[in-house]
Chain A
Amino acid sequence: MLPALWAVQDQFGYLPSAAVAAVAEELELVPSEVAAVSSFYSMYFSHKPGQHFVQVCRNVSCALRGADGILAHLGRVLGVEDGATTADGLFTLEGTVECLGGCGGAPMMQVDRYSYEDLTPDRCDNIIAALRAAPPVEPGRDGGPGGRS
Chain B
Amino acid sequence: MTDVARSPELITVIVDGRPVQVPVGTLVWDACEKAGVFVPVYCAHKKLDPVAVCRMCLVEIGTLPKLQPACATVASDGMEVRTRTEKVREFREGNLEFLLLNHPLDCPVCDRGGECDLQDFALRYGPGRTRRAITTKVHFNKAVRLSDKIVLDQERCILCWRCTRYYDEVTGEKELVLQERGVHTVVAPFEGRPLQSMFQGNLPEVCPVGALTHAQYRFRARPWDLRRTPSVCPGCSYGCNLNIDTRETEVVRFASSDKPEVDDGWLCDRGRYGSGDLNRADRVRSPEVRLGGPGRSMAYSEAIEAAATALASVISEHGRERVAVLGTPLMTNEEAFVLQWLAREVIGTPHVDHQLLPWTDLSPAEFSLGIEEIEACDAILVVGEQAEATAPVLTLRLYKAERKSGRRVSRVPGDIEAGEAARRIAGASRVGVISHERDRGLAAQVAAIAVASGASVGRLTITVGVNGRGCKDLGLLPNYRPGYVATAEVGLHGRGILEGCQSGEIRALLAVGPNPAVEAGADLDRACAAVQLLIAITPVRDAFWRHAGVVLPGRTIAEKAGTVTSSEGRVQTVRIAVHPNIAVPSEVGLLAGLGACLGAARPAPTAPAAVLEEIRTAVPSYAATAGGLRAAWGKLR
A residues lining the B interface (CB < 8 Å): 17, 20-21, 30-36, 39-42
Q: In the complex, what residues of A have CB within 8 A of residue B191's CB?
A: 17, 31, 35
Tell whether, in the assembled complex, residue A32 and residue B181 are in contact, meaning their CB atoms are under 8 Å apart: no
Q: In the complex, what residues of A have CB within 8 A of residue B173's CB?
A: 30
Q: In the bound complex, how far is the Cα of B174 from the Cα of A35, in angstroms? A: 11
CB closest residue in chain A, given B178: A36
B277: Cβ under 8 A from any A Cβ:
no
Q: In the bound complex, how far is the Cα of B191 from the Cα of A21, in angstroms? A: 10
CB closest residue in chain B, given A38: B179
Interface of chain B residues 148 through 193 with chain A (CB within 8 A) = 173-181, 188-191, 193
Q: In the complex, what residues of B have CB within 8 A of residue A20's CB?
A: 190
**Contact of A36 with B177 at beta-carbon distance under 8 Å, contacts A17-B191, A31-B190 already known:** yes
Tell whether, in the assembled complex, residue A32 and residue B180 are in contact, meaning their CB atoms are under 8 Å apart: no
Q: In the bound complex, how far is the Cα of B529 from the Cα of A104, in angstroms? A: 94
CB closest residue in chain B, given A33: B174
Minimal beta-carbon separation of A130 from chain B (angstroms): 34
Q: In the complex, what residues of A have CB within 8 A of residue B188's CB?
A: 32, 35
Interface size on B, residues (CB 8 A): 14
**Contact of A39 with B180 at beta-carbon distance under 8 Å, contacts A31-B190, A32-B190 already known:** yes
Q: In the complex, what residues of A have CB within 8 A of residue B179's CB?
A: 35-36, 39-40
CB closest residue in chain A, given B191: A17
Tell whether, in the assembled complex, residue A30 and residue B174 are in contact, meaning their CB atoms are under 8 Å apart: yes
Q: Report whether over half of chain B's contact residues are helix, strand or loop; otherwise say mixed.
A: loop
Q: In the complex, what residues of B have CB within 8 A of residue A40's CB?
A: 178-181
Minimal beta-carbon separation of B350 from chain A (angstroms): 55
Q: In the bound complex, how far is the Cα of B175 from the Cα of A32, in angstroms? A: 6
**Contact of A30 with B178 at beta-carbon distance under 8 Å, contacts A17-B191, A35-B190 already known:** no
Q: In the bound complex, how far is the Cα of B179 from the Cα of A21, in angstroms? A: 15
Interface of chain B residues 177 through 214 with chain A (CB within 8 A) = 177-181, 188-191, 193
Tell whether, in the assembled complex, residue B177 and residue A35 are in contact, meaning their CB atoms are under 8 Å apart: yes
Q: In the bound complex, how far is the Cα of B537 from the Cα of A130, in angstroms? A: 90
Q: In the bound complex, how far is the Cα of B176 from the Cα of A139, in angstroms? A: 44
Minimal beta-carbon separation of A31 from chain B (angstroms): 4
Minimal beta-carbon separation of A88 from chain B (angstroms): 29
Tell whether, in the assembled complex, residue B190 and residue A30 are in contact, meaning their CB atoms are under 8 Å apart: yes
Contact partner, B177, options A17, A21, A32, Cβ 8 Å = A32
The 10 closest A-B pairs by CB, nearest first: A36-B177, A32-B190, A31-B190, A39-B179, A32-B177, A30-B174, A39-B180, A40-B181, A35-B190, A36-B178
Q: In the complex, what residues of B have CB within 8 A of residue A33's CB?
A: 174, 177
User: 25 interchain pairs (CB within 8 A)?
Assistant: A17-B191, A30-B173, A30-B174, A30-B190, A31-B190, A31-B191, A31-B193, A32-B174, A32-B175, A32-B177, A32-B189, A32-B190, A33-B174, A33-B177, A34-B190, A35-B188, A35-B190, A35-B191, A36-B177, A39-B179, A39-B180, A39-B181, A40-B178, A40-B179, A40-B181
* Supplied contacts A20-B190, A32-B177, A32-B189, 7 more A-B pairs, CB within 8 Å: A30-B175, A31-B191, A31-B193, A32-B193, A35-B188, A36-B178, A36-B179
Q: In the bound complex, how far is the Cα of B193 from the Cα of A17, in angstroms? A: 12
Minimal beta-carbon separation of A81 from chain B (angstroms): 19
Minimal beta-carbon separation of B180 from chain A (angstroms): 5
Minimal beta-carbon separation of A44 from chain B (angstroms): 11
Q: In the complex, what residues of B have CB within 8 A of residue A31's CB?
A: 190-191, 193
CB closest residue in chain A, given B174: A30
Q: In the complex, what residues of B have CB within 8 A of residue A41's CB?
A: 181
Q: In the complex, what residues of A have CB within 8 A of residue B193's CB?
A: 31-32
Q: In the bound complex, how far is the Cα of B185 from the Cα of A40, in angstroms? A: 9
Q: In the complex, what residues of B have CB within 8 A of residue A39's CB?
A: 179-181
Minimal beta-carbon separation of A146 from chain B (angstroms): 32
Interface of chain B residues 53 through 85 with chain A (CB within 8 A) = none
Q: In the bound complex, how far is the Cα of B179 from the Cα of A81, in angstroms? A: 26
Q: In the complex, what residues of B have CB within 8 A of residue A21's CB?
A: 190
Q: In the complex, what residues of B have CB within 8 A of residue A34's CB?
A: 190
Q: In the complex, what residues of B have CB within 8 A of residue A35's CB?
A: 177, 179, 188, 190-191
Q: In the bound complex, how far is the Cα of B173 from the Cα of A34, in angstroms? A: 14
Minimal beta-carbon separation of A117 from chain B (angstroms): 28
Per-residue A-contact encoding for B419-454, CB less than 8 Å = 1, 0 else = 000000000000000000000000000000000000
Q: In the bound complex, how far is the Cα of B163 from the Cα of A36, in angstroms? A: 14
Q: In the bound complex, how far is the Cα of B181 from the Cα of A35, in angstroms? A: 12
Q: In the bound complex, how far is the Cα of B181 from the Cα of A41, in angstroms? A: 8
Which of B176, B179, B189, B193 has the most chain A CB atoms closer than 10 A to its own CB? B179
Q: In the bound complex, how far is the Cα of B193 from the Cα of A20, in angstroms? A: 14
CB closest residue in chain A, given B184: A39
Q: In the bound complex, how far is the Cα of B597 from the Cα of A33, in angstroms? A: 67
Interface of chain B residues 351 through 400 with chain A (CB within 8 A) = none
Q: In the bound complex, how far is the Cα of B188 from the Cα of A31, in angstroms? A: 12
Minimal beta-carbon separation of B522 from chain A (angstroms): 41
CB closest residue in chain B, given A29: B174
Q: In the complex, what residues of B have CB within 8 A of residue A17's CB?
A: 191
Q: In the bound complex, how far is the Cα of B173 from the Cα of A20, in angstroms? A: 18
Minimal beta-carbon separation of B184 from chain A (angstroms): 9
Q: In the bound complex, how far is the Cα of B518 from the Cα of A46, in angstroms? A: 54
CB closest residue in chain B, given A39: B179
Q: In the complex, what residues of A have CB within 8 A of residue B190's CB?
A: 20-21, 30-32, 34-35
Q: In the bound complex, how far is the Cα of B191 from the Cα of A40, in angstroms? A: 15
Minimal beta-carbon separation of B146 from chain A (angstroms): 12
Minimal beta-carbon separation of A148 from chain B (angstroms): 31
CB closest residue in chain B, given A21: B190
CB closest residue in chain A, given B176: A32
CB closest residue in chain B, given A24: B190
CB closest residue in chain A, given B182: A40
Q: In the complex, what residues of A have CB within 8 A of residue B180's CB?
A: 39-40
Q: In the bound complex, how far is the Cα of B204 from the Cα of A86, in angstroms? A: 45
Which of A20, A32, A33, A42 has the most chain B CB atoms closer than 10 A to its own CB? A32
Q: In the complex, what residues of A have CB within 8 A of residue B176's CB?
A: 32
Minimal beta-carbon separation of A131 from chain B (angstroms): 30
CB closest residue in chain B, given A35: B190
